[in-house]
Amino acid sequence: MSVSIERVSCEHFLSGFGIDTPSPRLSWRFKGDVKDWKQQSYELRIETLGTTQEYHVESEESILVPWPASSLRSRQHAQVTVRAIGIDGTPTSWAGLSIEAALLTPSDWSAKVISCPPQSEDETKPPFFVRRRFNLESVKSARVYATALGIYELEINGRRVGDQVLTPGWTSYDHRLHYQAYDVTDMLKVGENVLGGYIGEGWWSGRLGFEGGARNMWGTRNGLLAQLEVDGSPVVVTDESWEWTIGAHDAGEIYDGEIYDSRKLEPDWSTIASAKAGWKPVEIISPATGELIVDRAPIRRTQEVQAVEVIITPSGKTVVDFGQNLVGWCRLNVNPTGPAGSNITLTHAEVLEHGELGIRPLRVAKCRDVLTLGGDLAGWEPKFTFHGFRYVQVDGWSGLKPADLTAIVVHTDMERTGTFESSHPMVNKLHQNIVWGMRGNFVGLPTDCPQRDERLGWTGDLQVFGRTANFLYDTSNMLSGWLQDMQAETLANNGVVPVVIPDAVSRMWKTNPFNMAFAIWGDVAILAPYDLFEASGDIGILKAQYEGMKAWLHEGIGRREDGMWKDDLKQLGDWLDPDAPPDSPGRAKTDEVLVANAYLVHVTRRMSIIANYLGLADESKRYAEETLRIRKIFQQMYVTPFGRLVSDSQTAFALALQFDLLEPAQRTVAIERLSELVKRNIFKVGTGFAGTPLILDTLASNDQLHLAYRMLQEKQCPSWLYCVSMGATTIWERWDSMRPDGTINPGEMTSFNHYSLGAVANFMHATIGGISPLEPGWKKTLIAPKPGGTLTGAKVGFLSPYGQVGCQWVIEGGRLLVDIQVPPNTTAKVVLPGVDEEVGSGERHYQVVWKADERWPPKPIWMAMAPPIDEIA
């Protein structure tokens, strides 16, 4: 089989249409099973403005190579073709990409932001329509560039423009505002046309935040900015010539849902056939202050889920079960029958409690869509809200059937890159739950939860989950944009990283209790860019974020004179330690300042590595020296000479071991003590936010693989498989969000879709499956599966920037059989029992002698008169 180029891309865009980079870097991904294939050179052809330029470059680089031609101008089209030449001189076939620049400078925009007259600042703002009629004499090519202060949808001549939803998404509007580019050539006609928009409050002015939250965080008025260009010139822009009218929605809120009166909708409102009176002139309002940036990571419908059954609850309520906790909304497949003016109400929740809809975890979010009958509701679905749910209580609809509703899954459109499966059904289900949890919390930005009155971009959640996220999906577009917002907010906040990005929390209260530096949450400024760089190989991410990293490390962190964290500053620490009281999730077993200082040493060391990658040798050296200095202080503060820690907890030892905070002799004692703690805890998880991402990796990398597998396979609470045994289909916020008796945890924070504890997937990918990057962008891969527990086989795959990486193993009759796949233009280090070698691309098969770990199954430590409650899956 020959090597071919599977895909050509520019920057991290999903396609080449509507990009905002004048000199886009180019990448190509390979496909093919050829042993030891390496690229020696590549050839580019770039056709633009009627001329073709050809380039031959002697380089093995195939990801994010420099743009060799003149910079693109706004609206300019370029056709790129590339082929790679191997070290044997054989070229691949040509592969191509069509590129079209969007609007690259502010002067390209002649549109103004239009709105209806001012609406209430204390209540929800009903969505409104705007439109403009216009004539065309000819159409060869047409584009619309649009955004909103709020959420918008466009229509042309009665047809919806684009397939994105919840546009333009949520950004730090003071710094960046996404806009979308659409090819609308086939939607226009010679003669009279209509361009219309439907605008809701969205994140711009809608209610956000917990404890009641606040409205109008970025502005009090919603508006549309749109520019229609035909054959490269603006022909219709939003200005005073447009008209507006109220829509069919009485409300469209992120948290509370939609109130929709089907009698009010004029179906042909965006066509020349519209005859409805009452349209009035629009008003011009001030634009956002943030820079207009092309939306690189649009939110889309990605899946439809059919209802499993219709349940009648003990109280007589009708509830639809979709069998999967998901994020999105419901589509009505039929037009419900009933008196005109009567209502159907859809209330969404994640779980049932004693057979009834469990709405208490939603706090004050209504998560409810109310539909008034009288018009055609077949095909209806929301436009201005989204919900996190598995169950939907339907009131006012008699005779409801499962086929009458379909759940629409919505999240940021990202390429799926990572897969995992094993011989263990419950472990497989756990991994599936992790994927679903990520999908539901990557709706425009990485959130903590998708259902209650929160849904905010908590930095700590992403920091602990980042490596797993970057494996499961190509997050480069979405996270690089979110990181831009984070850096802008950090620099504006004197180096302190806000706990949520965009910083809605500081806008909720005049006195913000979270406006202080927190380790782990603030450390995202350093760790998240590095994790994304490691996954993508994009050095530009580190360059772009370096100023914010330094600001956090040098200005944001509250330090004592010796450089360690101040002891009197509040920390969130090992948040949601399983032993913490339900309403006091920060009361962990592990000293919170110990956690902060462990992370301080870790991120300082990481800064040395980052500076080295950026070619900043002097800074790299200084950070390395500082790492050694504060590491010594950490030992003096928290470690006995023998190797015990002042906090005798799983988290404390995991941090100390995994972050290399101990001397060799101390490590030996620490490993022994951590192992003892795991056994004394009957293999249940004893960690929160800080320790959970590390605990299994720590055990596995310190000759305690049997204990790592035993913890993974534990079924008693708290454990990963307890949630699975309780029917979870996503990752929970708490280990016991649902208690064994079927009651919901009484704590105020009880989400059933919170991905952070799903960071265990990194252990599943790298240790069970056996693949992890040794060089940024997976230029070199470590393939080293470590079977254990009761698992007899596993298969993991990752679609890297170079191509498919894979490892599959099975234990058969005392032999370990391993199949690996290494993509072209890369190498891998393969480590198996009796094997330690470096290989090039291609598929390879290994068969080695396998000896089971004699320590399996490990025994817990307990008092003889009190046998432990212990259950292995």
- Per-residue CA distances from 634 to 108, 323, 523, 692 (Å): 55, 48, 18, 21
DSSP-derived letter for residue 308 is: -
The answer to whether residues 780 and 827 touch, using CB atoms and an 8 Å cutoff, is yes
Query: What distance in Å separates the CA atoms of residue 723 and residue 325, rounded to the nearest whole number?
Result: 13
Tens of pLDDT, residue by residue over 822-853, are 999 999 999 999 999 999 999 999 999 999 99
The CA distances from residue 753 to 120, 323, 735, in Å, are 33, 14, 12
Structure tokens at 317: 């309520």
User: For the stretch 827-858, what's the b/e string if a residue is b when 16 or more beta carbons lie within 10 angstroms of its beta carbon?
Assistant: bbebebeeeeeebbbbebebeeebeeeeeeeb
pLDDT at position 751 over 80 = yes
Of the listed ranges 340-349, 504-513, 624-633, 851-860, the least confidently predicted one is 504-513
- Cα 766–chain centre separation: 20
pLDDT band for 516, please (50, 70, 90 cuts).
confident
Residue 168, preceding bond cis, omega within 30 degrees? yes
Active site residue 775: no
Alpha carbon of residue 649 to chain centroid = 30
713-740: per-residue pLDDT in tens?
999 999 999 999 999 999 999 999 999 9
Mean pLDDT value of segment 132-136: 97
Give 868's pLDDT tier (boundaries 50, 70, 90): low
Q: What percentage of the chain exceeds 90 in pLDDT? A: 94
Q: Which of 345, 355, 328 is nearest to 396 (CA)?
A: 345
Which residue has tokens 């980079």? 21
Measure the CA angle with vertex 854, ends 852 and 857; round to 5°. 95
Residue-wise pLDDT tens digits, 426-451: 999 999 999 999 999 999 999 999 99
Q: Which amino acid is at 281?
A: P
Q: Is the pLDDT of residue 513 over 80?
A: no
What is the C-alpha to C-alpha distance for residues 554 and 568, in angstroms, rounded to an integer? Answer: 19
At 144, which helix (H) or strand (E)?
strand 142-149
Q: Which CATH class is domain 300-412?
A: mainly beta
Task: Specify whether domain 460-713 bears CATH 2.60.260.20.
Answer: no
Q: Does position 870 have pLDDT exceeding 80, yes or no?
A: no
The H or E element spanning position 609 is helix 592-613
Q: What type of residue is 505? A: V
What is the SS3 assignment for 679?
Answer: helix
What is the Cα–Cα distance from 559 to 593, expressed in whole angstroms? 11
63 CB-near residues (< 8 Å, 6+ apart): 27, 28, 536, 537, 538, 777, 801, 802
What local confidence, expressed as pLDDT, does residue 582 receive? 86
Percentage with pLDDT > 70 across the chain: 99
Are 781 and 828 contacting, i.e. CB atoms less than 8 angstroms apart?
Answer: yes
609: Cβ contacts below 8 Å, ≥ 6 apart: 530, 620
Residue ranges per domain, the chain? 4-101, 109-296, 300-412, 460-713
Which pLDDT score is estimated for 518? 97
Residue the block writes with tokens 């592969």? 95
- Beta-bridged to residue 727, according to DSSP, are none
Helix, strand and coil in the chain, % to nearest 5: 25, 30, 45
- Residue 718: is the preceding peptide bond cis (ω within 30°)? yes
For residue 372, pLDDT over 90 is answered with: yes
Residue 273 has pLDDT above 80, yes or no: yes
CB-based contact 42:82 (threshold 8 Å): yes
SS3 237: strand
Beta bridge partners of 296: none
- Render pLDDT for 586-610 as a digit per residue (tens, 0 to 9): 999 999 999 999 999 999 999 999 9
pTM of the model: 0.97
Q: What's domain 4-101's superfamily in CATH?
A: Immunoglobulins (2.60.40.10)
| Of 119-123, 485-489, 558-562, minimum mean pLDDT range | 119-123
Active-site residue (options: 155, 454, 489, 626): 454
Measured between alpha carbons, how far is 383 from 366 in angstroms, rounded to an integer? 17
Q: How far apart are CA 658 and CA 348, in angstroms?
A: 41
Mean pLDDT over 524-534 rounds to 99
Angle CA(487)–CA(489)–CA(495) in degrees, nearest 5? Answer: 75
Nearest to 800 by CA among 826, 818, 837: 826
**CA–CA distance, 526 with 712 (Å, rounded to integer):** 29
Q: Which residue did the predictor score with more confidence, 872 or 197?
A: 197
Fill in the DSSP letter of residue 49.
T
753-789 residue pLDDT tens:
999 999 999 999 999 999 999 999 999 999 999 999 9
Task: Give the position of tokens 């379909």.
Answer: 406
Which CATH fold topology does 109-296 show?
Jelly Rolls (2.60.120)
The one-letter amino acid at 300: R
The residue assigned the tokens 């772009």 is: 544
Res 864: pLDDT: 65
Tens-place pLDDT, residues 604-642: 999 999 999 999 999 999 999 999 999 999 999 999 999
Judge contact between 699 and 672, C-beta under 8 A. Answer: no
CA atoms within 13 Å, Cβ hemisphere of 512: 17
Phi and psi torsions of 407, nearest 5°: -85, 130
Q: What is the pLDDT of residues 313-344, one digit of tens each?
A: 999 999 999 999 999 999 999 999 999 999 99
Token code pair at residue 365 = 């979010």
The yes-or-no answer on residue 454 being catalytic is: yes
